[in-house]
Amino acid sequence: MSVKRILVVGSANIDFLMTTPYVPSEGETVISEGAYTFVPGGKGANTAVAAARLGAEAVFCARVGDDAYGDRLINIYRENGIDLRYIKTDRLEQTGLSVVMLEKGGANRIIVYPGANRRINDNDIENAFYCYPDAVITQFEIGEAAVIQTARVANTEGVPLIIDAGPARRDFPLAKLEQVEILSPNENETEILTGIRPTTLDDCLRASMALMNAVDIKYVVLKLGARGCYIYDGKYCDIISPYDVQPVDTTAAGDAFTAALTHEYLRTGDIITAARFANAVGALTVTKVGAISSLPTRKEVEQFIIDSIS
Ligand code: RIB
């Protein structure tokens, strides 16, 4: 089977990661008992590296700042075999930075300073499509215009468009995406985009239908965390059960899920098979701390699936 080329148009961040016993409330100071680290992250970068580790040819269209973090991130992408031709070093803005507060049990809260990410422009995106991708993935962590331009070029060129709806914005003009192959929000993003929390099966269906009413989508895939994922194709729905793991850090699990879903969908043409595999990738990702540092290789995922059956 030929290697699939996935273009990711997305964010590159350095993550300032700190553990906390709980998230402070207003006016409160909490003492962290863990260490702090600066680790590579960003929804776009996590997705590109996850795709590469799973066997895709990953092409990353991004911007980093002209600073030490930018250099460090590019080196990490190089080590992971990412095609770097469409990554620009921006002279006006700093590298994107995320503050990740990691609670016991693996839940996180994130604040992002987008920096150079918001300067990805129409030309950057048009040029990147010269890599002739089999699919393009983007998220909402870059500027709205860049997401819409990615959709426009993808639709003009006939490249399947996969949207990971993180971080969701209530006012995002979904209709401007025109045609989406897969739209995959998590629970919070689903609620922000539709006003419906996907708690029950009925809620999942109503939310998926609301998304399909807003824009032409082939598959809605709701990421439901520890409850697996929900797939809707406009007619049928399916719940794909989760893998049972002990989470230590959920950061990047959604990004890894979307990369895996896209890659397996391209390889097999079957969304259910792809979602099962993506659930395994998401599950493995939450068992390690950090974003890029927690992304599994294809071999690790295959072994994990075998171990889970036996
Ligand atoms: O999805 C996880 C990512 O969100 C983190 O790596 C952080 O950079 C934020 O962008």
Q: Please report, rounded to a whole number, the percentage of residues in the chain having pLDDT higher than 70.
A: 100
- Second-level CATH architecture of 5-11+43-93+121-309: 3-Layer(aba) Sandwich (3.40)
283 neighbors 242 (Cβ within 8 angstroms): yes
Query: Taking 80 as the threshold, does the pLDDT of residue 310 lie above it?
Result: no
Longest dimension (CA), the chain: 57
Query: Taking 80 as the threshold, does the pLDDT of residue 183 lie above it?
Result: yes
State residue 79's pLDDT score.
98
Q: What is the mean pLDDT of residues 163-191?
A: 95
Quick check: is 255 catalytic? yes
Does 223 sit in the ligand 1 pocket, CB within 6 Å? no
State residue 33's pLDDT score.
84
Query: Taking 90 as the threshold, does the pLDDT of residue 1 lie above it?
Result: no
Q: Model confidence over 34-48: pLDDT tens digits?
A: 889 999 999 999 999
Question: Residue of the nearest CA to atom 9 in ligand 1?
Answer: 42
Which pairs count as long-range contacts for 85-89, CB under 8 Å and 24+ apart, including other chains? Answer: 85/59, 85/131, 86/59, 86/60, 86/61, 86/62, 86/124, 86/127, 86/128, 86/131, 87/12, 87/60, 87/61, 87/62, 87/63, 88/62, 88/63, 88/64, 88/124, 89/63, 89/64, 89/65
Q: What is the mean pLDDT of residues 200-228?
A: 97
Question: Residue of the nearest CA to atom 10 in ligand 1?
Answer: 42
Does 150 sit in the ligand 1 pocket, CB within 6 Å? no
Q: What is the mean pLDDT of residues 275-286?
A: 97
Helix (H, G, I), strand (E, B) or coil at 182: strand
82 CA distance to ligand 1 middle (Å): 18
Residue of 164, 216, 255, 307 marked catalytic: 255
251 CA distance to ligand 1 middle (Å): 7
**What distance lies between CA 6 and its chain's CA centroid?**
13
Domain locations in the chain as residue ranges: 5-11+43-93+121-309
Q: Which pTM was predicted?
A: 0.96
Question: Which are the contacts of 269, defined by CB distance < 8 A and separation ≥ 6?
Answer: none
Q: How far apart are CA 305 and CA 284, in angstroms?
A: 10
